[in-house]
Chain A
């Protein structure tokens, strides 16, 4: 089955719609949302609505730290612009939508595959996987052959060999990668709604779970429009500029 992996949507409706359309053309049969559906962007309501509809149709969805903050209030450790966006987001979600976010799981296991928002080593701590060392820690904490996660907003692929060595790889969009069953993999598809690698195009990945083939994708979308909406909503202007720059 072809599984589209979408992470860190961050209430960016323009990016989500572009990615869903691209995914449909690529033959996606199921969707997996790896957390952070909301926060930063101007369309939390419509984005949660679409994810809810997808889940009703069989999609997987996880909780991210921004989803948790939207339901519980921003933690004191959160950056100021993020915390302001959290407060705004809470006001723009219905009780029912907040309850949906509050009910999302931290991890989902499907056979030998594990879905989680941040590092699998302690999902509730929201630890970033930014290096081969972090990836090794995440992979060694569980037995799953493949981990799919988000949180860092940058597409990456890590692999753990039989001898325990971990390597990092920077994916090339559009290139199918056969994931060998003789090693373990950690896949970060990158962010749909707020890419941070200098390229504003939305990120997602497609995984064929029978052939074990993974493809990273970049999808250009109307980031200017998403940024305009952020400014019009009175959210911090930097959040809009970030979408246009991809960083």
Chain B
């Protein structure tokens, strides 16, 4: 390495250093420019004698993981250098303040907490789908784009489940940031994406109460407390925190990862549908658990070791969000039964799946919408009752089911938007018959298959053999006046 000075105006591999924007304990950040490029950030690890040895390894980890990441929820990777003046990574500059700036205004109101939580959950799910667990989620590592997406930064402690973990063997102490690190990270387990769900819970707790759920412990003993000691319930610190939000936060903060939400998409679904969050004892709590419960939990953590190996990909695949789209008025009883059978099959393959039952009320584009039928009943409420009636035979626990009545002039786009926004993994939808007209002009299910960014199962009612033959004999039977252009 050369002894080139690091100062404004210096040029490293064609990047001109403009301004030092951050000096941390692990790295220095410079705003840099390059011809024809938007403003960029150059991150340089601190490599002097006596610097934190994790700084170097953290840099290696980022250099390995960042080029593999895509999408709006991470800074775009531009390039990296090993031997020039100093090792560095260059990435897109994300403007504005991190979420940390908002901690000064805490407690935030419920709507804002839920909105920020949804933004972070969306970003986390995108990261997890790319095989990466962040493992250092905290307010200062969350930025926002002008378009609203949360951007996660700093992957120095992250783990990619298809790449070597450079940190696992080398360091004997838990890695992460004390207030947010999960119990399993305290036990030095680095391969559970649900660790990020815990950190998300700790962030939401901070936003809604203005205080840290577990303080800022500085010893291993202090860190280990979160394995058995539950935090003061958010509602005890901020009475305006609704029960459903406390339920979500405390569920994210469960010491056992199996008791948390199983994917970030499931947290997102809960935050977006407060009315559908099943309220348990967690929601009602106004004080911490008693000495007996805590002692029992503490006994169980003695000598606690990590769980068996698992990967981010496996965990996500095990915990899908499945949407079943139901057209209750037009669907025949046989089709609705077929859809239920298929849904049962999908759910039996994924015991960790959440099922969202969705129905779309078609509204007219021009006329005022009629939301009350001839008998004066609210159509949304009616539809909701029908959805619940359809789902009852599935016998699913309340926490695994949600119901959604959506509205819009074009049912297929309303459905596809819902699928995109909620990071749905699998859609089950019925195909209504196979009339030749439908074959030529397309159907709702065909649009959903074409436009959804996930797997779609199209359910049909099994046809009797003679029906098939009859249809095959008259394939071009079209209603008069059908325009085929």
- Report A's interface with B, CB cutoff 8 A: 157, 159, 161-163, 165-167, 169, 172, 175-178, 180-183, 212
Contacts and interface: CB of A to CB of B under 8 A. Distances in A.
Contacts, number: 47
Most buried by A among B56, B163, B164, B169: B164
A167 B165 contact: yes
Nearest to A167: B169
Given A161-B169, A163-B170, A182 B56 contact: yes
Contacts of A162: 53, 56
B419 to A, nearest CB: 28
Contacts of A182: 56, 59-60, 82, 87
Interface of B: 53, 56-57, 59-60, 63-64, 67-68, 82-83, 87, 162-166, 168-170
A80 to B, nearest CB: 38
Given A161-B170, A183-B166, A177 B57 contact: no
A172 B163 CA distance: 8
15 contacts: A161-B57, A165-B170, A167-B165, A167-B166, A169-B163, A169-B164, A172-B162, A175-B162, A177-B164, A178-B63, A178-B67, A180-B60, A182-B56, A182-B59, A182-B82
Given A162-B56, A163-B53, A163-B170, A178 B64 contact: yes
Contacts of A161: 57, 166, 169-170
B63 A180 contact: yes
A139 B168 CA distance: 20
Nearest to A182: B60
Contacts of B166: 159, 161, 167, 180, 183
B163 A177 contact: yes
Contacts of B162: 172, 175
Nearest to A176: B68
A212 B53 CA distance: 23
A166 B56 contact: no
Task: Give chain A's interface secondary structure class.
Answer: loop
Contact of A180 (B64, B165, B168): B64
Q: Identify whether the interface residues of B are mostly helix, strand, loop, or mixed.
A: loop
B168 A167 contact: yes
Nearest to B168: A167
Given A159-B164, A162-B56, A181 B170 contact: no
B164 A166 contact: no
B165 A183 contact: no
Contacts of B165: 167, 169
B60 A175 contact: no
A182 B60 CA distance: 7
A145 B83 CA distance: 14
B83 A181 contact: yes
Contacts of B63: 178, 180
Contacts of A175: 162-163
Nearest to A173: B162
Contacts of A159: 164, 166
Contacts of B163: 169, 175, 177
Nearest to B87: A182
Interface centre among B87, B162, B168 (most CB of A within 10 A): B162
Contacts of B169: 161, 165-167
Contacts of B67: 178
Contacts of A172: 162
A157 to B, nearest CB: 6
Given A161-B170, A162-B53, A169-B164, 18 more contacts: A159-B166, A161-B57, A165-B170, A166-B169, A167-B165, A167-B168, A167-B169, A169-B163, A175-B162, A175-B163, A177-B64, A178-B64, A180-B63, A180-B64, A180-B166, A181-B83, A182-B59, A183-B60
Nearest to A172: B162
A208 to B, nearest CB: 13
Contacts of B57: 161
Name the 3 nearest CB pairs between A and B, nearest first. Answer: A169-B164, A167-B169, A180-B60
Nearest to B60: A180
Contacts of B56: 162, 182
Nearest to A185: B164
A162 B67 CA distance: 23
A175 B64 CA distance: 12
B70 to A, nearest CB: 14
Contact of B82 (A157, A176, A181): A181
Contacts of B164: 157, 159, 167, 169, 177
Nearest to A174: B162
A183 B53 CA distance: 13
A133 to B, nearest CB: 12
A241 B83 CA distance: 49
Contacts of B170: 161, 163, 165, 167
A209 to B, nearest CB: 13
Contacts of A163: 53, 170
A174 to B, nearest CB: 9
B66 to A, nearest CB: 9
A169 B57 CA distance: 16
Nearest to A157: B164
A173 to B, nearest CB: 10
A181 B64 CA distance: 11
A187 B394 CA distance: 51
B27 to A, nearest CB: 14
Contacts of B82: 181-182, 212
B52 to A, nearest CB: 13
